[in-house]
């Protein structure tokens, strides 16, 4: 048997990928990496202008914008109807949207708890369901969710986000069990501490920034581009038998005692 070439193992040529929350931060870098591997990438977010800027920033011809709010079920269904109409398939869904509201539980209103769980967890089921319906028809697919090391470990003043990410990790495993026999894999990428726009205030604060850097064996924050390879791997032929896995990309933060 001839050995497969490195490029064929990691090629996403001919694949259609949707990356939610890809106007900036981690989602943008995952979208850039998938486009670099040859996929036709659909950028998503609520701000259409920002998505156009992101598409221009990626600068390859194989990206398009699909603005919608992932927490709006009707908007999700409409977006998938567009995907089916324009592309006839979806090969890769990267669920990257995640909002955070750091504060003690006693300061949350009912509404704030429900909204955060809705955006970070319930919406993921609706997106995965819509993707699975297309993937079942085409007989293959890759579901990838961006969870967090918060899905496995915990900090004070972050309970709702932590629970949502733990739930998302459970969803990833459950869908791996549910769809594995249909050639649809389901995996997670769990980032550690990444200096994205949302985290800049912490990353730039000398004391807090150094705390998280020093709490990581590699001694620094991650750069969002350092997550691109994990997404390409999980979407690629190289990961054809990887299912139900959480790929932790955290510079070693979670292995420290």
Task: Indicate the residue whose CB is closest to ligand NAP.
Answer: 98
When the beta carbons of 4 and 219 are compared against ligand NAP, the nearer one is 219
Sequence-separated (6 or more) residues with CB below 8 Å from residue 256: 215, 216, 217
The span from the CA of 226 to the CA of 89, in Å, is 28
Max Cα distance, the chain (Å):
62
Between residue 47 and residue 86, which ones bind ligand NAP under the rule CB under 6 A?
Answer: 47, 50, 69-71
Instruction: Name which position in 115, 152, 199, 225 contacts ligand NAP (CB under 6 A).
Output: 199
CA dihedral angle for residue 173, residue 174, residue 177, residue 180, rounded to 10 degrees: -80
Stated as kind and residue range, the H or E segment containing 94 is strand 92-95
* Closest alpha carbon to 188 in 153, 137, 227: 227
The span from the CA of 11 to the CA of 102, in Å, is 39
Instruction: Name which position in 122, 183, 198, 254 contacts ligand NAP (CB under 6 A).
Output: 198
Between residue 155 and residue 184, which ones bind ligand NAP under the rule CB under 6 A?
Answer: none
Regarding 32 and contact with ligand NAP (CB under 6 A), the answer is: no
Sequence-separated (6 or more) residues with CB below 8 Å from residue 72: none
The CB-of-84 to ligand NAP minimum distance in angstroms stands at 19
Residue bearing tokens 């004070």: 156
Regarding 92 and contact with ligand NAP (CB under 6 A), the answer is: no
When the beta carbons of 38 and 165 are compared against ligand NAP, the nearer one is 165
The CB-of-44 to ligand NAP minimum distance in angstroms stands at 6
Instruction: Name which position in 31, 38, 65, 148 contacts ligand NAP (CB under 6 A).
Output: 148
Residues that bind ligand NAP (CB under 6 A): 20-21, 23-27, 44-47, 50, 69-71, 96-99, 119, 146, 148, 191, 193-194, 196-199
């Amino acid at each position: 048997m001839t050995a497969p070439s490195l490029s064929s193992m990691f090629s996403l040529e001919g694949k259609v990928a949707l990356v939610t929350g890809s106007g900036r931060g981690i989602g943008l870098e995952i979208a850039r990496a998938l486009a670099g591997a040859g996929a036709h990438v659909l950028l998503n977010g609520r701000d259409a202008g920002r998505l156009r800027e992101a598409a221009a920033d990626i600068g390859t011809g194989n990206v398009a914008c699909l603005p919608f709010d992932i927490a709006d079920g009707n908007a999700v269904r409409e977006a998938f109807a567009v995907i089916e109409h324009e592309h006839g398939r979806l090969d890769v869904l990267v669920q990257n949207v995640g909002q955070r509201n750091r504060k003690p539980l006693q300061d949350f209103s009912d509404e704030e708890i429900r909204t955060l769980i809705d955006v970070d967890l319930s919406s993921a089921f609706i997106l995965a369901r819509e993707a699975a319906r297309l993937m079942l028809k085409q007989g293959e697919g890759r579901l990838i969710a961006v969870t967090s090391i918060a899905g496995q470990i915990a900090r004070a003043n972050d309970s709702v986000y932590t629970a949502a990410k733990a739930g998302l990790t459970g969803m990833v495993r459950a869908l791996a069990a549910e769809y594995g026999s249909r050639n649809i894999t389901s995996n997670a990428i769990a980032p550690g501490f990444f200096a994205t726009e949302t985290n800049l205030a912490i990353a730039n604060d000398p004391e807090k920034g150094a705390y998280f850097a020093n709490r990581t064996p590699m001694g620094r924050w991650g750069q969002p581009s350092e997550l691109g390879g994990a997404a390409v791997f999980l979407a690629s032929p190289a990961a054809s038998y990887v299912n139900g896995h959480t790929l932790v990309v955290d510079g070693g933060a979670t292995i420290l005692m």
